[in-house]
Amino acid sequence: MKRILAALMLLVLCGCTKGAVSGENAENAEIFMVNVGKADAIIVRADEDYYLIDAATEEMWPRVMAAMKDMNITRLKGVFATHTDKDHVGGLEMLAKSDIQIDAWYASKYFIDVKEEKHPAVKAAKIRNEEVVFLGAGDNVDGIFEVIAPVRKMEDKDDNNSLVMILRTKSGSAFFAGDMEYAEEKTILDKNLKSDVLKVGNHADDDTTSQQLIDKVDAKIALISTSSYEKIETPDPALVQRLENKGMQIFYTEHSNAGIRVTMDKNGIRAEYADWKNAKPLPEGIFISAIDPIDDTIVIENRSDADVDLSGFYLYSSKGKEILFLENGCMLKAGGRITVGTNSTQNTKADVVWDDKNVINDTKADTITLCDPYGRAVCALTANE
């Protein structure tokens, strides 16, 4: 009962209603699909409002945050979690802890892998004492997002409970498939799916985006978010061939530094590979010179003759997948070094404390990488190699 009352209240506050979406509520739009490896994070601008569809993995979240900073985004009118897989919701908790204003949280009304109170979107919203609106076929958000699926609950995997939406504006439309596979596709093939842009489902794996769906959407541009390094089977050659046979322009996040930008305005619809607008060149002479897995410490050296500002840079542990953001004002002097310790460190005086325990795996190979605020690797070192 509490969920129903909360959802009804949020429907009023957040503009989620039933019925068709005309697209009259937005003149222009921009879609920015961030390069987050084999994961999803899509920033949508409709006129002056911004939305986020999925939040990548936890380790790739800094790239999403960098994209929002690059676009000067301080407020999201809506955050959508298409389903509960970690490569779509891993960054939600860090988003909730950020200073980005969030007007509303949305998620698919069906999910099978977690209880409602453990749903990543619910847990993230709770950090801000906020609620999640659960969406299904027939809903729409703010007069621009038409919810196509889920139509019914699928018990095989949560990919097939994906929140599937069409963005409709006066200048164009885009179909967002989440990780929808063939089983969920069959539930929507009787609907009007015509769109100018197709966000291909499930990282272009071999279990998604059938010929029937391609024909129904009938798009001119296809967007694929994946990493063939992380999963060599993606994108699936047969799927790519189906898209090419349809005459679509195909864009891949892994072919870009920052991501793919699609613009819809009076001049038409166009896509391009994007680079970071405000990124500075990577600093030279910065090295992780030592890792002590037992005392849980990391030493970073500056072997150059210039001071380097590490504000906003972060350390990432490949084994534990932990992240430490270096605070503003973290300056590494020329010829100097800083020692990063954790709550497990006992024998070393740390300059920076990673507020966690046992960050570095002391038995298996664990690579520590220093990245700039845009997720670009500066240096790395592996312990227990």
What digits encode the pLDDT tens for the residues 245-291?
999 999 999 999 999 999 999 999 999 999 998 899 999 999 999 99
What digits encode the pLDDT tens for the residues 122-144?
999 999 999 999 999 999 999 99
Domain tally for the chain? Answer: 2
The domain spanning residue 323 has which CATH number?
Answer: 2.60.40.1260
* Separation of alpha carbons 92 and 86, rounded Å: 10
* Separation of alpha carbons 81 and 121, rounded Å: 7
pLDDT of residue 320: 84
Residues 223 and 290 in one domain: no
User: In the numeric block, which tokens belong to residue 154?
Assistant: 């699928």
Residues 260 and 141 in one domain: yes
* Separation of alpha carbons 379 and 385, rounded Å: 16
Show which of 247, 274, 301 is a domain's final residue.
Answer: 274
Residues 268 and 341 in one domain: no
What digits encode the pLDDT tens for the residues 295-330?
999 999 999 999 999 999 999 999 888 899 999 999
Residues 163 and 308 in one domain: no
Residue located via tokens 């497990």:
344
- Tell me if 165 is assigned to some domain: yes
Would you call 275 helix, strand, or coil by DSSP?
A: coil
- Torsions phi, psi of 62, nearest 5? -55, -30
* Separation of alpha carbons 184 and 159, rounded Å: 8
* Separation of alpha carbons 170 and 362, rounded Å: 57
Residues 262 and 304 in one domain: no
Residue-range definition of the domain harbouring residue 143: 2-274
> What confidence category does residue 11 fall into, taking pLDDT thresholds of 50, 70 and 90?
very low
Mean pLDDT of 68-79: 96
Show which of 274, 307, 339 is a domain's final residue.
Answer: 274
Residues 265 and 306 in one domain: no
What digits encode the pLDDT tens for the residues 177-208?
999 999 999 999 999 999 999 999 999 999 99
1 pLDDT exceeds 70?
no
Preceding amide of 237 cis, omega within 30? no
Dihedral sign (CA 15, 51, 325, 92): positive
Which residues, 6+ apart, have CB-to-CB distance to 232 below 8 Å? none
DSSP-assigned letters across all residues of 312-335: T-EEEETTT--EEEPPTT-EE-TT
Residues 240 and 330 in one domain: no
The domain spanning residue 224 has which CATH number?
Answer: 3.60.15.10
Amino acid sitting at position 170: K
What digits encode the pLDDT tens for the residues 84-96?
999 999 999 999 9
User: In the numeric block, which tokens belong to residue 360?
Assistant: 């570095």
Show which of 246, 274, 302 is a domain's final residue.
Answer: 274
Residues 258 and 293 in one domain: no
12 pLDDT exceeds 60?
no
Residues 153 and 192 in one domain: yes
pLDDT of residue 25: 86
User: In the numeric block, which tokens belong to residue 258?
Assistant: 């920052």
pLDDT of residue 5: 44
- Tell me if 159 is assigned to some domain: yes
Residues 267 and 320 in one domain: no
> CA of 252: how far to CAs of 75, 200, 206, in Å?
27, 10, 16
- Tell me if 279 is assigned to some domain: no
Cα–Cα–Cα angle for 282, 287, 291, rounded to 5 degrees: 140
Would you call 257 helix, strand, or coil by DSSP?
A: coil
Residues 169 and 313 in one domain: no
- Tell me if 281 is assigned to some domain: no
What digits encode the pLDDT tens for the residues 106-115?
999 999 989 9
Residues 177 and 316 in one domain: no
Higher pLDDT, 14 or 250: 250
Kindly state the percentage of the chain with pLDDT values over 90: 87
> CA of 191: how far to CAs of 41, 148, 168, 202, 290, in Å?
26, 8, 15, 20, 58
